[in-house]
A and B are shown apart, each in its own frame.
Chain A
Amino acid sequence: MKKLLIPLSLFFVGAVLFALSFLSFGSASGDLDISIVKSNSIMPAAHNVYANELALDGKYYLFKAKMTNNGDNTLEDVTVRYRIPGYVEWTELDVIGEMFPGQTASVRCYPKFKDDISEKMTESTEKVEIEISWDGAQEDDIIDEEFSFRISDRNEYLFTNIPAEEIAGWGDVYNNDALLACFVTPNDPIVKYYTQNIQEKILMGETASVTKDPNEAVRFLAGIYNATVLSHMVYSGTKGIPENLQDVSKFSQHNRLPREVITGNTGLCLELSLLYASVLSNAGLDPMIFLVPGHAYPGFRLNGQYYAIESTGIGGEGIGGIMSAEDAFKKGMEQLNEFMQKAQTGDPRYTVVDIHAVNQQGVTPMVLKDDDFLRKKVDDIVTSWGSTGTIAKTSNNSRVASGGNTGSNSGGGGSGGGSSLSFSIPGGWQTYMRPVPEIPIITAQVVAPDQSTTVTVFDVPASSGQEALGIINQYFQNYGMSMQYQLNGNQVTGQTYSNSGVFNWVGKTLGRNGGIRLVAVGAPDYLYNQSSGYITQVFNSIR
């Protein structure tokens, strides 16, 4: 029996080890390393964007977490959930079926706040609690993480979500441009009511979105302006748009919502722009907001052309007077001309927010409830318009002034009906007559020796510069190209888009032999700056 003691002991030890192996190998203890990248601040106005992982390529997450299984065991059904006490209940973000040793997984949180967050009138600091567990995880294994972040009030707009130390240029300052669309509220019942009153009481009916007639659309724009003048709305002169990169304090702005601008009867340039955009969108037009250093102004795009108005022309009797709608429109178009030139050179301080385009990328505005008190305030405002506020339709081209009609037939420099628009050709440039037989309206092209710059002469059977540009655009579209342009008097600024890229150009028009001649000079956008000397030289010589 003594001889069996040792071998039996060995067998017993082996049995114990074998039994223990099921306990430890089957255990699900894990060593999960977590790394979290978080957002510091959330804007309630943009809560629909934060909830949408597809909006703007998913850049507006609340946090993203990277988990690495540094243990020896495979973890099964790794579950990540989070909550924001008071705002979002425990919500499961992801369940990862298995995580092998050494495997990394990442999850992103796009929190769905309730719609009533758009009623938040004060900022607060809130907490996110994150819990990570897996099948068989013990109490000690479950990972709990938390961090604090700021929820601003519904009126705050942050120009950028890039930390101050990472800002390298103006493009970074305007990183949140697209989120301005969250403050454009065409479906707000108060804005709808206001728009309806403008259409009925001031315009006596309008058809801009149906007829796509630029004259009618400009009349509508003027109607909004006159509505603000008649209600004695004033411009609050505090600047809101950042003017220099060092002025970090200006990287956020407290925006009155459009309904608050209407009922409060005052607004900053950006707030007025948001109001115009809301009304234009509600009326079926394509609103634009143009951002320039220290300023913003609204407009719209119709049939490939941009229009703008200086909405702060309402000024105030106490601050320099009030512009007429015509002057405000004229100023807006002049600013737009400058905007186009600056934007073409790639100056990032000049940007435009195309509201509907951004809506389609998932940036949708907050939902606002109807309010009887505010409706009554709109009624009071409408009463203040009196009976003098109507703007009837007119066939006077100069009154509507799309910017181009006035200049087209009378000419921009020609001395008579038979004179041509001529220009000086720099030495060494090559001239080609009728270079594209399929496009008969191209009379000639003059090309620089390095082929970076081109002058094109169009002779179009049209009665106005506007009509001529429309015809040219139609020809281009047949060849897979398209044009966008800005006509101001007899001067034009534009871009032509094709499979080869973008071609920037400037030009002048003149009535000639019963039609319109356009002389346009330009270069591909990546060469525009370096060719600007020749372009300016040729442009100035066009007469």
Chain B
Amino acid sequence: MLLFLLLSTVWVYGQQTQQKIDMDIDAVGNAKINVSMTMNAQQWQVWVSTLGNNPAALKREVERSMPAYFLDDFKLEKDEMNRSFTLSLNAYGVCEINKRGMWTIDTDQKNANLTKLTDHKYMLVSSPEEFGGTIQQTFTISFPPEAENIEVDKDALGNSIFKFDMENSAGGINLLMLGGILFMVIGAGWSGVSVLTGRSKT
């Protein structure tokens, strides 16, 4: 439900605005999200007076616009000279493993028109109806290198979803097993040598 995040709080009324949203998925299914926008003079003035100079209010608005998710590590960087900003945040548990062992992430869009940029990167450009066509969003989602067999499918509601495989990169090593094998090999080898040495003397 997260994928096509509509940050209404960073929507600025007026002429059509370009908004870029980048989502980087990590090896355990969390997402680092970066939202960036460049505005004209009037839009910048409005945005600064409402949210730009009040990061706490901006954080609060983002959290309220995504109530179903756990978010943290908000950072806001403003480039006042060029009237642009980048908001970054972490979203947890965006991807999850289903009962069949496949990782999934829901786009929350029906028949999403996704463009494959690379084997691990997809893009969507949309102009959400909720904002009357005044905002154009370019959304990219980047999967980690460990992700394999990435494909787009539909869920039971007809929403486009990503499915992919991803091995556990933090898999543990069984030290007990390794130690046991090592001792057995040393013990067996030493026994063999002792037996052979004993026979040769006799």
A: residues with CB less than 8 A from B are 3-4, 6-22, 24-25, 35, 37, 53, 57-59, 61, 64, 66-68, 72-74, 77, 95-106, 108, 166, 168, 497-502, 524-527
Nearest B residue to A59 via CB reads: B67
A7 and B188: CB pair below 8 A? yes
> Chain B nearest CB: distance from A78 CB in Å?
9
- Chain B contacts of A24 at CB under 8 A? 176
Enumerate chain B residues within 8 angstroms of A104, measured Cβ to Cβ: 28-30, 70, 92-93
Q: Does B134 contact A (CB under 8 A)?
A: yes
Residues of chain B lying within 8 A (CB to CB) of residue A96: 96-97
Complex CA–CA separation, A315 to B158 (angstroms): 53
- Smallest beta-carbon distance B116→chain A, Å: 25
The CA-CA distance from A59 to B30 in the complex, in Å, is: 21
Task: List 23 contacting pairs A-B, 8 Å CB cutoff, sorted by A.
Answer: A4-B191, A10-B183, A10-B187, A14-B186, A14-B187, A17-B180, A20-B176, A21-B180, A25-B172, A25-B177, A53-B68, A57-B68, A66-B92, A73-B172, A96-B96, A97-B96, A97-B101, A102-B28, A104-B92, A104-B93, A106-B69, A499-B134, A527-B42
Where the two chains meet, the residues of B that have a C-beta atom closer than 8 Å to any C-beta of A are: 1, 12-16, 28-30, 42-43, 46, 57, 60, 64-65, 67-70, 92-93, 96-102, 132-134, 168, 170-172, 174, 176-177, 179-191, 194-195, 198
Q: Give chain A nearest CB distance to B9 CB in angstroms.
A: 12
Report the Cα distance A9→B92, complex, angstroms. Answer: 50
B187→A7 contact, CB < 8 A: yes
CB-nearest residue of chain B relative to A20? B176
Option from B69, B172, B186 in Cβ contact (under 8 Å) with A10? B186
Q: Which residue of chain A lies nearest to B1 when distances are taken between CB atoms in the complex?
A: A58
> Chain A residues near B190 (CB, 8 Å)?
6-7, 10
Give complex CA distance A368, B125 in Å. 45
Check A108–B68 contact: CB distance below 8 A. yes
One of A64, A68, A95 near B99 (C-beta < 8 A): A95
Complex partner residue of B93 from A105, A168, A498, A502, CB under 8 angstroms: A105
Q: Are A18 and B28 in contact (CB under 8 A)?
A: no
Decide: B14 and A500 in contact? CB cutoff 8 A: yes
How far, in whole Å, are A51 and B144 apart by their CA atoms in the complex? 35
| A27 CB, nearest partner CB in chain B, Å | 11
- Interchain CB contact (< 8 A) of A97 among B28, B99, B177, B187: B99
Contact of A21 among B29, B42, B57, B174 (CB under 8 A): B174
Is the Cβ of A3 less than 8 Å from the Cβ of B170? no
A526, B188: Cβ atoms under 8 Å?
no
Tell me, rounded to whole Å, the shortest Cβ–Cβ distance linking B193 to chain A.
8
Q: Please name all residues of chain A whose beta carbon is closer than 8 Å to the beta carbon of B42 when the two chains form the complex.
A: 526-527
Query: B150 to chain A: closest CB distance in Å?
Result: 17
Which chain A positions have C-beta within 8 A of B60? Answer: 166, 168
Q: A67-B93, A100-B28, A499-B16 are in contact. List 10 more A-B contacts (CB 8 A).
A: A10-B183, A17-B177, A21-B177, A64-B68, A97-B96, A97-B98, A103-B28, A106-B69, A168-B57, A525-B13
**Contact residues in A for B172 (Cβ distance below 8 Å):** 25, 72-73, 101
Expressed in whole angstroms, the minimum distance between the Cβ of B133 and any Cβ of chain A is: 5
Report yes or no: B183 in contact with A11, Cβ–Cβ below 8 A.
yes
What residues on B are CB-neighbors of A73 within 8 Å?
Answer: 172
* A526 contacts B14, C-beta separation under 8 Å: yes
Q: Identify which of A19, A67, A106, A524 contacts B180 (C-beta below 8 A).
A: A19
Given A59-B67, A100-B170, A500-B180 contact (CB < 8 Å): no
Which chain B residues lie closer than 8 Å to A68 at the CB level? 92
Instruction: Tell me which of B15, B65, B176, B177 contacts A500 (CB under 8 A).
Output: B15
Task: Give B177's nearest chain A residue, CB to CB.
Answer: A21
Taking a contact as CB atoms closer than 8 A, the residue among A3, A9, A66 that contacts B70 in the complex is A66
Contact yes or no, B168 A74, CB < 8 A: yes
A21-B174, A102-B170, A166-B60 as given contacts; A66 in contact with B191, CB under 8 Å: no
CA distance A453 to B68 in the complex (A): 41
Bound form: Cα–Cα A21–B181 in Å: 10
The answer to whether A3 touches B198, judged by C-beta atoms less than 8 angstroms apart, is yes
Q: Which residue of A lies closest to B183 (CB)?
A: A14
